[in-house]
Copies of this chain bind each other. A is one copy, B any other.
Amino acid sequence: MARVTARDVARAAGVSQATVSFVLNERADQSISEGTRRAVLEAVHRLGYVPSGAARSLRRGRSNVVLCLIPDIPVSQAMEEFRRTLSQVLGESGLTCVFLHTEGGMRLAELWPHVHPAVVLSFGRLDDADAEQIRRTGVALVDDVLGPNGVAAHGLDQAQVGDLQVRHLAARGHTRLGYGAVVDPREDAIAGQRLCGAEEACRALGLPAPVVVPVDYTPESGLEAVGRWTAAGVTAVAAFNDIVALALLSGARALGLDVPGRLAVVGVDDLPVAALARPALTSVAIHATVPATALATLILAEAGKPAPAGSPPGPALRLVVRGSS
């Protein structure tokens, strides 16, 4: 069966193809009578007409696709929530959010001109050359979404995570703090910011800088880290995330060190397992819908679309206090 085109709709509605286009694009500069409008929409519905994205993109020189470039970053519930919210908010404004995994030798320069995206959204940091090339063709680019620069605009400063952890521990009376950093280099973009936030908070509170120890997700690593902190007189640790925190709990258990009596621990992400640990893990929960909505609003502005009617987002972070601190 042949594809239904605007021509077919025009014929069925007894109008010209131009009128169909005007109605479908809701062009304010054309005066279309209500009757005509309804006839067109009725024909569209009856025939099951869907405009060809390819033809429209070709003609306009630009699609309604938001091309989201995802580097090799670890999965997380927060990131997934971020993507879904972004998809939904942009989708409601007529932009199709498309995710592309960019590792594995994909050449960016060969990709984006092929797609004619309305906006390119890079979760990682783009090559300067790539970024320059994209901008030069007038395609809106939001670079380094997860990085420290675009941060304020997106409603979630990862530094706030570290800040929140440190202030919580300080409020509990701890003065000598540790920071459980992560080894995985794929986390670097976010990890650096969280640590900065923790260090800055210590400074602001007049505490010595936290003793930073890298931890991977093994019991041995947790054990070693806890040993180093106790030797340094550290009584409380902010961990990069819940898994690091759980490795620390494992280490403390192996050393027979009471948590939170001898060592308090606070994680990030509030994973389901946080509540299952012993002691249950205090954690910073991230509501990714907040920065995602903020970012979507920014993108809509870049694309020249009206802002979404979204409800006002609440706070992006929430401290969930449990037994480990």
Residues of A that sit less than 8 Å from B by CB: 1, 3, 48, 50-55, 57-58, 61, 63, 72, 75-77, 79-80, 83-84, 87-88, 91, 96-101, 103-104, 106, 109-111, 113-116, 136-137, 217-219, 222, 243, 246-247, 249-250, 253, 272-273, 275-276, 278, 280
* A299 vs chain B, min Cβ distance (A): 16
Measured between alpha carbons, how far is A321 from B217 in the docked complex, in Å? 18
Instruction: Work out how many copies of this chain go into the complex.
Output: 2
A98-B101 contact in complex given A113-B50, A222-B276, A246-B276, C-beta closer than 8 Å:
no
Closest residue on chain B to residue A114 by CB atoms: B53
Q: Return 23 A-B CB contacts under 8 Å, by A number.
A: A1-B137, A52-B113, A53-B115, A53-B116, A54-B55, A54-B63, A58-B58, A75-B75, A75-B76, A75-B79, A87-B101, A88-B101, A88-B104, A96-B100, A98-B100, A217-B276, A218-B276, A219-B280, A243-B273, A246-B273, A246-B276, A250-B276, A253-B278
**Distance to closest chain B CB from A242 (angstroms):** 8
| Apart from the given pairs A53-B116, A96-B111, 13 other A-B contacts in the complex at a CB distance below 8 Å | A3-B113, A50-B109, A50-B110, A50-B113, A51-B114, A53-B57, A54-B54, A84-B101, A96-B100, A217-B276, A222-B276, A273-B273, A278-B278
A75 cross-chain contacts in B, Cβ below 8 A: 75-77, 79-80
- The A contact surface, by secondary structure, is helix
Q: How far apart are A166's CB and chain B's nearest CB, in angstroms?
A: 24
